[in-house]
A = this chain, B = another copy of it.
């Protein structure tokens, strides 16, 4: 990828890899602390990264491009289910909702909410992160149907939202202050499995 074989090193001082990383890290840090995307200033990023503003503008066309690249690094790989049981897999998957490899992701996510529905590019970025995770969970449900653990007539897409929604609103908004976030995944999955209707 970064080999010099097909790209004969250009003359002059090469760009500092440390600066690249420091800029991205500083951006994510500030996003995790700050309130919204617009509130982050390039000057603050440069200061936090120990970098001149020119170094940033040498790499990115502007604030938007930098933010887009920074957010892309949060992607990460979706978790892989163990496959022992549908319940166990779902509890693990739903427990990971809104918690990527990077612990800052949970704090950054709310900052993006206002933009997701207004900016097509942000929405595409958001979906590119969420869809693979939905796909993993979808496959667990399909496996459960095949194996007879789940009823064959369930609405898979609705079930995805049913399992993900509660964790998302609780982690993003602390929607119900009386709900304990640590035990919530298991309780949600068990309730979805069992249903609430009298039989």
Contacts and interface: CB of A to CB of B under 8 A. Distances in A.
Interface of A: 35-39, 110-111, 113-118, 123, 126-127, 130, 134, 141, 148-151, 154-155, 157-162, 164-170, 172-179, 184, 187-188, 191-199
Contacts of A114: 35-36, 110-111, 113-114
B197 A196 contact: no
Contact of A177 (B127, B164, B175, B177): B127
Contacts of A170: 161, 165
Contacts of A113: 110, 113-114, 172-173
Copy count, this protein chain: 2
A162 B175 contact: no
Contact of A165 (B36, B126, B166): B166
A145 to B, nearest CB: 9
Q: Do most interface residues of chain A lie in helix, strand or loop, or is the interface mixed? A: helix
A110 B140 CA distance: 31
Given A151-B196, A158-B179, A192-B195, 13 more contacts: A35-B115, A36-B37, A110-B113, A117-B174, A127-B177, A130-B175, A148-B198, A157-B176, A162-B166, A165-B165, A165-B170, A191-B192, A192-B196
A166 to B, nearest CB: 4
A188 B176 contact: no
29 contacts: A36-B36, A36-B39, A36-B114, A38-B39, A110-B113, A113-B173, A116-B173, A117-B172, A117-B173, A126-B173, A130-B175, A141-B196, A154-B191, A157-B179, A158-B179, A158-B184, A158-B191, A161-B179, A161-B184, A162-B188, A164-B166, A164-B169, A164-B175, A165-B165, A165-B169, A165-B170, A193-B197, A194-B195, A195-B196
